[in-house]
Amino acid sequence: MVEQITAMLGLVGVLSILCQWLGWKLHLPAILPLLLCGLLVGPVFGVLDPDAIFGDLLFPIISLGVAVILFEGALTLNFSEIREHGRMVTHLVTIGTLVTWAVIGSATHYIMGFNWEMAMLFGALVVVTGPTVIVPMLRSIKPKSQLASILRWEGIVIDPIGALLAVLVFEYIAVASEPTSHVLHSLVYMLGIGLGLGAASGYAIGLIIRRGLVPHYLKNTAVLTIMLGVFVGSNLLQEESGLLTVTVMGIWLANMRGVDIADIIEFKETLTVLFISGLFILLAARLDSQALLNLGWQGIALLLIVMFVARPLSVWICGIGTSLLRADKWFLSWLAPRGIVAAAVSSLFAIKLESQGVQGADQIVPLVFLIIIGTVVAQSLTAGMWARFLGVKAGSAQGLLIFGASKFARALAKVLLSKNVPVILADNNWDNIRLSRMDNIPVYFGNPASEHADNVIDMSGVGRLLVLSPYRQLNPLVTFHYQDLLGKNKVFGLNNSEGGSARHQLSESYQQRLCLFGESVSYARLASTMAKGGVIKITNITENFTFSDFKERYGDGALPLIYLQDGKVKLITGVINQLPVGIELISLLSNEAISGAQIADEQKVDVKRATKASVQSAS
């Protein structure tokens, strides 16, 4: 039996990675291959029976996995970021959540025959979308920047909010089964434990991180173990309060001042990918295919109401008073796929409610999976065509993501932004990020190759990556990550190699990308030029002042970087001898080149004056 459990755990791990890879390769949400895989190994071929294999361990596995998923999602809920992304996002995650919950809950009661408590629990479970489903869709659809930002941030923010709503409804159902005199007391006690212990634990962890009481190499592990300990302790103090506690704990930690949680989020998201993938295969394998079929026309009718009534009504109500056009609202009305959080939380609640003998609990999971399958499949296949029909697809992506926010990168970004070219600076160095923010440059603080960056960085309108950082070990990782997302011919870096032996250690495919601004241009050269008074300047190349005139004026002290032509950004990635007229050339000019040009100008003025004086004296 032990060998069988070990083999099944290994199988789930291998299959989860294969499904994640397949989703990445096909540019599809990973939830689709995970769902298909779980159904195949579970009800179809009977290879994996989670209940029979794991027995009493299944509930703790799912419970701890859901706790980690909710905590990681709550860590992304920064209230200041919600305000930064406009009224529509704020409306969707507040008013929109309530509207969607009310519509789906009411429809579930009348169509499926659920009692009001179970109907409202189901409605709370399926209000969430989630970035793991939305982001892959947005990459393939490529809608306008504003719409992509709204959908991405809605998915990030609504995860913990929807989970919190579902937990509160579930806790009401759990205590409602007790004698009436105890219902209010139990619910208040549960909310007090969840909110109070969650806030206190989040504050305590924040103090530990802020004061450096735990060494850096133990920080992530310490936060994880403390979170799991608080989850278990909360459940011991009051049954079923643990999920609320860890959700509040994560939200508190995310909004605490002076606490750097970037490393924690990156560590947790790695765990979350593992938990999400493994859990979803186990949950799909537990699914009874007959139970799905037994939902009949009522299940299909409820799915149609979710897609064609609840979502459009929510979007149009939330859109009142915003600047969104009708086409924008119709696009948002169609795109709201449900994700893994709904599946994981519903399965956990279903197990608990079934053990309490609550009527309708056995239908919760198949109904949630029906909504997930229907929304993801239908919207994945049609959203691109819908965006084209409405005319909300983005144009050619001319924006740049720059990894490395050095003085040179900041100066280049400011020049590009002045020409309305979208630019985002990403860096691990807080001082660089702080200085960039002071210059009003859009930034991302952290590793741009992380899953958190994939979900948070607004890549709409951004088509290329420039690697301008001094981090030799991280640069290849970021390069290859964005080659997969943007394409090999969209990622370029500086040649920071130190001699022939080091260069031969680099792969050939990576070497080909190290040609930005010329094959011999390194980070050290750019930093040195800027430190000695170099500036980045825009020069109009015209018929009267050609590129040859430019080279003659500034000599070897001028390094051409980028030029703008007919609204398009052209990168210089090699030796150039000529450039077309009618362009705006962005170049780095050394202090010597600027001084030389000024001296030459003064000499020309002196010559003109001397010539003019000689002419006047002769006359």
CA 450, CA 218: separation in Å to the nearest integer?
Answer: 20
- 177 versus 138: the higher-pLDDT residue is 138
The mean pLDDT of the chain is: 83
Using DSSP bridges, classify how beta strands 462-467 and 399-403 pair: parallel, antiparallel or unpaired: parallel
Q: State the pLDDT at residue 259.
A: 80
pLDDT band at 529 (very low <50, low <70, confident <90, very high): very high
- Mean pLDDT value of segment 406-416: 94
**Closest CA relative to residue 569, chosen from 412, 426, 433:** 412
Q: Give the lowest-confidence range in 41-50, 58-67, 522-531, 577-586.
A: 58-67
Q: State the pLDDT at residue 579.
A: 87
The DSSP letter of residue 488 is: G
Q: Is the pLDDT of residue 605 over 70?
A: no
Strand partners, 564: 569, 584
- Mean pLDDT value of segment 510-516: 79
pLDDT band at 584 (very low <50, low <70, confident <90, very high): very high
pLDDT band at 408 (very low <50, low <70, confident <90, very high): very high
pLDDT band at 504 (very low <50, low <70, confident <90, very high): very low
* pTM exceeding 0.85: no
Q: Which residues of 282-298 are buried (b: 16+ CB within 10 A; e: fewer)?
A: bbbbbbeeebbeebeeb
pLDDT band at 294 (very low <50, low <70, confident <90, very high): confident
Q: Is the pLDDT of residue 29 over 90?
A: no
- Mean pLDDT value of segment 336-353: 81
Q: What is the pLDDT of residues 245-269, one digit of tens each?
A: 888 888 888 888 878 776 676 666 6
Residue % of the chain over a pLDDT of 90: 27
- 216 versus 428: the higher-pLDDT residue is 428
Q: State the pLDDT at residue 329.
A: 94
Q: State the pLDDT at residue 501.
A: 46
DSSP run (H or E) holding 466: strand 462-467
Going through 382-422 in order, the beta strands assigned E by DSSP cover 399-403
Rg for the chain, CA atoms, rounded: 29
Q: What is the pLDDT of residues 68-112, one digit of tens each?
A: 877 877 776 666 665 655 688 889 988 999 999 999 999 999 999
Long-range (24+ apart) CB contacts under 8 A made by 549-553 are: 550/585, 550/587, 553/597, 553/600
CA 94, CA 162: separation in Å to the nearest integer?
Answer: 10
Strand partners, 445: 427
Residue % of the chain over a pLDDT of 70: 88
- 343 versus 547: the higher-pLDDT residue is 547
Q: Dihedral of the CA atoms 365, 108, 383, 462 (nearest 10)?
A: -70
Amino acid 47 reads: V
CA 568, CA 79: separation in Å to the nearest integer?
Answer: 36
Instruction: Please report where in the chains the tokens 């780095």 appear, as a residue.
Output: 588
